């Protein structure tokens, strides 16, 4: 049986998983050969590898000292972790794409009341939209992978200021799945962030990070037995165990060891600069008319620097031509499949490969 994507793929610009961070293929082989993957996940070697991964991630991304970092298997699992630990009755969700909807759907599925602040997928939300007085948590999708919309830093700060003024007890939660590691963020504008690692961090799928601030940890303690949480998702226990490099449940040792290697020497600011540069190449190609496309997101200030969602005349043909040249690009997400293509501009991508893809699309 043949495994993995074909050897004739030069580069994958899928919106995750995509190209691995430089050196990770070699690191994967080294980790497999080291014997680490056969050791007890409660033993000192694995605990040291987990602690190293979390420490290097904190350093590279600039996570504040008073924010804890724990793990989950995916961003979707992280949504449930956040909701079960931090909300007793009602959450509010800005919904302008498939993953904002998923967060709201998750709240409903576990029996919470949820407000949906819906907006057109191609246009920014109304930051002054009504939010119920009894909302305990407001969520946003920082970089909506399905649409290519990124909340600007100013909009995040505006939402935080509004919540502090109108509902100071409400927490702000951010799904940063396709932005963490590719966009500069001020972690303090929100109380909890989460992201899976197979996008801007350049790793294989199967691991997510949840970054939890002090206000969120205080909320957990206040809610106590009102939380709808299983033992393995009890946030205080998870935070406490991580202090010694342990997870509550069995960790994804391979993914965490790879994360540690990927973050060694990494600089979050440089990674964000690279995404801005790569996305600028796409913007230039669109603005010049060279590739015959338009951005799905209408407001330039709200366009992603990591996920380029482009309206093209024939998405299937564009994908076919790219694949014939050895490049994988993404289709539009679900309802946008017949209108759009998506091209990731993550830190791991090579400029020469992106330039070649744009030339193919230019025909």
Q: How is 95-131 classified by DSSP, letter by letter? A: ESSHHHHHHHHHHHHTT-EEEEEE--TTS---TT---
- pLDDT at residue number 4: 46
Domain 11-17+267-362 has CATH 2.40.170.20: no
Give the CATH number of domain 24-263: 3.40.640.10
Handedness of CA 316, 202, 95, 130 (dihedral sign): negative
**Separation CA 254–CA 259 (nearest Å):** 9
Domain ranges of the chain: 11-17+267-362, 24-263
φ, ψ at 114 (rounded to 5°)? -135, 130
* 100 burial via Cβ count (<10 Å: 0-12, 13-18, 19+): buried
The neighbour count for residue 291, using CB atoms within 10 Å, is 21
Domains 11-17+267-362 and 24-263 share a fold: no
Task: Give the model confidence (pLDDT) of 287-314 as tens digits.
Answer: 999 999 999 999 999 999 999 999 999 9
CA angle at residue 81 from 76 to 83, to 5 degrees?
95
**pTM listed for this prediction:** 0.95
Q: 133-146: per-residue pLDDT in tens?
A: 999 999 999 999 99
DSSP symbols for 230-255: -GGG-HHHHHHHHTTT--SS---HHH
Cα dist. 220→88, 136, 272, 304 in Å?
A: 10, 12, 32, 33
Asked whether the predicted pLDDT for residue 267 surpasses 60, the reply is yes
Q: Check whether 7 has a pLDDT greater than 80.
A: no
pLDDT on residue 197? 97
- Look at residue 80 in the predicted model and tell me its pLDDT: 97
Tokens of 155: 């909009």
Q: What are phi and psi of 301, to 5 degrees?
A: -65, -20
Task: For residue 324, count other CB atoms closer than 10 A to its CB.
Answer: 10
**What secondary structure letter does DSSP report for 333?**
P
What is the three-class DSSP state of 345?
coil
Give the pLDDT of residue 232.
87
How confident is the model at residue 327, as a pLDDT? Answer: 96
Q: pLDDT tier at 2 (50, 70, 90 boundaries)?
A: very low
């Amino acid at each position: 049986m043949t495994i993995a994507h074909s050897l004739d793929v030069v580069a994958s610009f899928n919106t995750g998983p995509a190209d691995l961070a430089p050196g990770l293929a070699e690191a994967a082989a080294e980790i497999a050969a080291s014997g680490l993957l056969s050791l007890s996940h409660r033993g000192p070697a694995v605990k040291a590898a987990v602690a190293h991964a979390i420490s290097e991630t904190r350093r590279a991304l600039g996570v504040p000292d008073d924010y804890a970092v724990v793990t989950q298997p995916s961003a979707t699992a992280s949504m449930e972790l956040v909701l079960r630990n931090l909300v007793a009755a009602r959450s509010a969700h800005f919904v302008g794409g498939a993953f904002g909807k998923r967060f709201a759907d998750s709240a409903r599925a576990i029996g919470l009341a949820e407000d949906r602040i819906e907006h057109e997928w191609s246009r920014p939300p109304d930051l002054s939209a009504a939010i119920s007085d009894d909302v305990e948590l407001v969520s946003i999708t920082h970089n909506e992978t399905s649409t290519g919309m990124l909340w600007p830093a100013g909009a995040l700060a505006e939402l935080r200021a509004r919540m502090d003024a109108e509902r100071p007890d409400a927490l702000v939660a951010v799904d940063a799945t396709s932005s963490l590691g590719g966009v500069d963020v001020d972690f303090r504008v929100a109380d909890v962030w989460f992201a899976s690692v197979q996008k801007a961090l350049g790793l294989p799928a199967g691991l997510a990070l949840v970054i939890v601030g002090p206000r969120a940890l205080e909320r957990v303690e206040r809610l106590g037995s009102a939380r709808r949480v299983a033992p393995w998702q009890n946030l205080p226990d998870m935070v406490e165990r991580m202090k010694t490099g342990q997870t509550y449940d069995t960790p994804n040792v391979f993914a965490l060891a790879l994360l540690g290697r990927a973050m060694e020497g990494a600089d979050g600011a440089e990674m964000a600069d690279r995404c801005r540069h790569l996305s600028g190449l796409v913007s230039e190609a669109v603005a010049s008319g060279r590739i015959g496309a338009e951005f799905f997101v209408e407001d330039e200030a709200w366009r992603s620097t990591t996920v380029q969602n482009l309206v093209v005349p024939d998405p299937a043909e564009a994908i076919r031509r790219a694949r014939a040249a050895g490049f994988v690009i993404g289709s539009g997400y679900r309802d946008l499949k017949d209108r759009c293509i998506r091209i990731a501009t993550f830190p791991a991508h090579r400029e020469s490969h992106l330039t070649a893809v744009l030339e193919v699309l230019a025909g």
